Structure 1
Amino acid sequence: MAQKRKGKKFLFIFVLVFVVLLGYFLSSLSIFEKNKPEIFVNDVIYSNLKDPISVRVKDNESGLKSIKITLKKDSNDSGIVLIDQKIDQKNDITLEFNLPKLAYKEKIKSYIMEIEAYDASFWNFFTGNYIQKSVFIDIDDINPEVKVLSNSYQIEQGGVASVVFKAEDKNLDQVYIQTDKGKIFKAIPYIKEGYYASLIAWNAKDDYFRAYIIATDKAGNSTKERIRYYFVNRKYRVSNINLSDKFLDTKINFLASANMSKDDASKLSRTQKFKFVNETLRFANENLIYKITSEVPEESVKDFNLNLFLPLRNAMKVADFADHRSYFYNGEFISSGYHMGLDLASTAFAPIISSNPGKVVFAEDNGIYGLNIIIYHGFGVYSLYGHCSSKNVDVNENVKKQDVIAKTGTSGLALGDHLHFEVLVQGVQTRPEQWQDKIWLKNNIYKVLEDGKKIILSEK
């Protein structure tokens, strides 16, 4: 009897070990894998009932077997089945579908979407691994509301204008200003939530200009509101310049050799070196400036005020803003470009003054600009100083009004000692003369901001 019990016990242990080993063996096979599929979709979806909803389901091991998507009005609703699809063991699938249109006068503001998926594993008694996810869908088919509160009366080619506006939507996502050329200006929150202000610049190289406020919500609804400006085209100077051998052999040869390998420079002719400096190097230098000055770090703005930009005492203008220059050598056209700053000269190594407080964001050599300093003054406004011979400031240093930041010189693409001066708005070079005009600043910026502020504060 005892021996019989011992035999049964041995048999039980053997069967148990066999089952455990069999389970371990089967679980090691991919067809018996135990990992659930993955569902990639946000926990909350905002829908305008026009754009399709996208759901991605993935299973890299045994592959997918089936996906079911049910739409419910609430947790008590049995719902309607949007998708009930058998999958032929695909590892990754993305389903796109539209929600049913609301019936006339039906006021459904939200849905619950349930996503269920099985993989093709033999786990769970051959039923496969199962995953379920519930997603809240917010129905929003209303466009954001945009209202211009105040704006400049006019904008000049190469100049600046301002705008204050309101943008409202329960699911507001993005608010910005875009020109007809695709340039985007950041709209900065102003005074109170839901209100914005911005400076907008018209690139002097463009003959035509329009600007629009764009507001989008999380459901994909969008509003595009044109800012009504009176447009003033300007005739900028056109210059024909003959290149001398001395200029090509000294300044141009130096800049080309300093910004490419000696072997490459030795293979180029005089005029090829000039094309490299005036086109390739200039493009790289201006692109760096654009990248730096396009940043607008403020999260909001309440006040903005600037002193006139007068960087050089007793200075004389020696070159114009937006001068379109064509270069010739021995009567043959070589290259062209725009001079997008104001050149000022007084005495050699004259002190350069920061007319406004700000933060230094760049202070180093920049190709044709030579020793180049850029200062940020807030509200998207930057001032730039080129061809300096020495500097008194470094990056991240804060400067005060009337600080001497550098001295004039001949660094970069400069023959005589002078200052190349620019004022940029969110990466766009603008007419420096506007920033040296007290009446222009008052009418085009300060009054617009103040008028907008009064309206904002009067609204509840």
Structure 2
Amino acid sequence: MNKETSLGNNKKKGKGLPLGLLLAIIGLLALAGAAFMLFRDTTPPVIAIGPDMELIGKQSEMNIVVEDPGSGLKSVEVVAVQAGKRITLLSETYAGTVMRIEKPLSLAELKEGELSIEVTAMDGSLYPFGAAGLSKAQKTYVLDTTPPRIFVQSHTNNLNQGGCGLMIFALSEKASSAGILVGERFFPAYLQPDGNGKFLYYCLFAHPWDVKSTDFKPMITAVDGAGNSAKRSFNYHTNARTFRHDRINLSDSFMEKTIPEFQGLVPNEGSLLDQYLYINNEIRKQNRAKLIEFSRRTSPVMLWDGPFVRLPNAANRARFADARDYMYKGNKVDFQTHLGLDLASLQHAAVPAGNAGTIVFADFLGIYGNVVVIDHGLGLQSLYAHLSSISVAVGDTVAKGQLIAHTGSTGLAGGDHLHYGITVAGIPTQPFEWWDASWIKNNITSKLQ
């Protein structure tokens, strides 16, 4: 009995493995798994070289991205090849597991001209003995570090606060962007097709009504295709102007008549005054942003000729840049600036096109009601608002004096009249100037000769 029991116990003990042997087996399995993964990784690293353009400049951001999610990266080398010379921009090895690197590349040692960027990356795989883990990539660039040179052609530039002028300048090369910067406002310039071999640009720009003469500092700017930029000032003289101050009295009856026209655009909450103020502020901002958007749909050449025509037999009811206090029950509730001319004639009077151009908008536009916008080229556009009817469509070409609409009281209009505006790059400017043949000759057409 005891003998059998003892024999049985020995059999039970024989079923287990010694601890040392068990740990050795686990270690071998781990090594085998690691080796399997290393041999199994047959996908080489993935390389991306940026930027994805041929022409680069001093400000261009060059970088490489190398990824290997399998066995990880072992080494990365980046070399620039230029005029037969090889310049190492990056050389790194990795002891641990690095799956991805992203590195900026310095252009300091490179010269202008064609160059090639070569990237070699190795991952940590062993199959088949490193060959499957090797990647190479190459990209060719042209490095341009010279900014465009600016040559001023218009040496006399006289402006009025709220008005505009024309600057003509030439560049040493074609620009990706050029124009005049006034504070944060940008007035694009347009390359002319008849530059006689020069890169000649025309730029209509404004002295905005809300910029003091002491703060008005226009600057020509140009950026070439490689991102190199240049700036320069120029000679000018500007005249300060004082604009009128006016009061607009709001009544419940006026707001009850006006607000329904904005159904779907105004939150249906708050008092009549709350809704009116939303229109006069938020929708006004949206509408003025649209004028800037329309200005981008412009011809690069002048479409107009001679003085603009105005609404016949019309009296001025409000002027450009009138400062307006809005009063309700004796209290000031808002302030806005009137950026156009209000012209009153007969009810539903025929509205002529101010000058030749192309229709870029003909529809309802918030505070302006029914609107027509005509593009006259170089970012110059005329606006006709509060219309009762519209006789043209987007894309139509119109002649000076052609019937385009009839006056009305749509939008935020207190009665039948025409709100007439002139914008340059979407910025409202003084319309009077464009009715004046002498002003046009002295400030625009004489420079074209």
Q: Which TM class, normalised by the smaller chain length?
A: 0.7 to 0.9
Query: Aligned partners of 1:233, 1:181: CA distance in 2, in Å?
Result: 17
Q: How does 1:99-178 map to 2 (within 5 A)?
A: 99=107, 101=109, 111-136=115-140, 138-169=142-173, 173-178=175-180
Aligned residue in 2 for 1:70: 79
Q: Is the 8 A contact 2:40 2:127 kept in 1?
A: yes
Aligned residue in 1 for 2:205: 200
Query: Aligned partners of 1:47, 1:408: CA distance in 2, in Å?
Result: 53
Letter paired with 1:387: H
Query: Aligned partners of 1:399, 1:328: CA distance in 2, in Å?
Result: 40
> Secondary structure at 2:376's aligned position in 1?
strand
**Runs of 5+ unmatched residues, structure 1:** 1-25, 451-460
Match of 1:96 among 76, 80, 104: 104
Query: Aligned partners of 1:287, 1:108: CA distance in 2, in Å?
Result: 41
Query: Aligned partners of 2:393, 2:40: CA distance in 1, in Å?
Result: 64
Q: Could you say what the CA RMSD is over the residues aligned between the two structures, in angstroms?
A: 2.8
Go from structure 1 to structure 2 and tell me whether the alpha carbon gap of 1:153 and 1:338 turns closer, same or farther (over 3 Å shift). same
Matched, 1:222 2:213: no
* Pairwise CA distance, 1:270: 2.8
Query: Aligned partners of 1:43, 1:377: CA distance in 2, in Å?
Result: 35
Q: Is the 8 A contact 1:27 1:34 kept in 2?
A: no
Q: How does 1:298-313 map to 2 (within 5 A)?
A: 298=300, 301=301, 305-313=304-312
Matched, 1:237 2:235: no
Matched, 1:286 2:314: no
Aligned residue in 2 for 1:33: 42
- Report Cα offsets for 1:278-313 as digits up to 9, x if no partner: 112212222222211243343xx3x66423222311
Go from structure 1 to structure 2 and tell me whether the alpha carbon gap of 1:186 and 1:59 turns closer, same or farther (over 3 Å shift). farther
Aligned residue in 2 for 1:373: 372
Query: Aligned partners of 2:69, 2:446: CA distance in 1, in Å?
Result: 62
Q: Is the 8 A contact 1:31 1:120 kept in 2?
A: no
Q: Is the 8 A contact 2:315 2:344 kept in 1?
A: yes
> Secondary structure at 1:124's aligned position in 2?
coil
Matched, 1:83 2:83: no
**Runs of 5+ unmatched residues, structure 2:** 1-34
Instruction: Name whichever of 376-385 and 178-187 sits farther off.
Output: 178-187
Aligned residue in 2 for 1:57: 66
Match of 1:259 among 254, 258, 265: 265
Letter paired with 1:364: D
* Pairwise CA distance, 1:146: 0.8
Query: Aligned partners of 1:444, 1:39: CA distance in 2, in Å?
Result: 52
Q: Is the 8 A contact 1:319 1:342 kept in 2?
A: yes
Go from structure 1 to structure 2 and tell me whether the alpha carbon gap of 1:431 and 1:221 turns closer, same or farther (over 3 Å shift). same
Q: How does 1:313-332 map to 2 (within 5 A)?
A: 313-332=312-331
Query: Aligned partners of 1:437, 1:357: CA distance in 2, in Å?
Result: 16
Aligned residue in 2 for 1:385: 384
Q: Is the 8 A contact 1:384 1:421 kept in 2?
A: yes
- Structure with bigger gyration radius: 2
Aligned residue in 2 for 1:15: none
Query: Aligned partners of 1:309, 1:74: CA distance in 2, in Å?
Result: 59
Letter paired with 1:350: A
Go from structure 1 to structure 2 and tell me whether the alpha carbon gap of 1:100 and 1:386 turns closer, same or farther (over 3 Å shift). closer
> Secondary structure at 1:307's aligned position in 2?
coil
Aligned residue in 1 for 2:9: none
Aligned residue in 2 for 1:358: 357
- Report Cα offsets for 1:209-237 as digits up to 9, x if no partner: 22212223455443211132112121111
Q: How many residues matched?
A: 408
Aligned residue in 2 for 1:343: 342
Aligned residue in 1 for 2:393: 394
* Pairwise CA distance, 1:133: 3.1
Aligned residue in 2 for 1:46: 56
Query: Aligned partners of 1:348, 1:164: CA distance in 2, in Å?
Result: 43
Query: Aligned partners of 1:211, 1:334: CA distance in 2, in Å?
Result: 35
Aligned residue in 1 for 2:417: 418
Q: Is the 8 A contact 1:63 1:90 kept in 2?
A: yes
Letter paired with 1:149: Q
* Pairwise CA distance, 1:94: 1.9
Q: Is the 8 A contact 1:43 1:134 kept in 2?
A: no
Q: Is the 8 A contact 2:409 2:416 kept in 1?
A: yes
Go from structure 1 to structure 2 and tell me whether the alpha carbon gap of 1:279 and 1:69 turns closer, same or farther (over 3 Å shift). same
Letter paired with 1:56: V
Aligned residue in 1 for 2:14: none
Q: Is the 8 A contact 1:31 1:62 kept in 2?
A: no
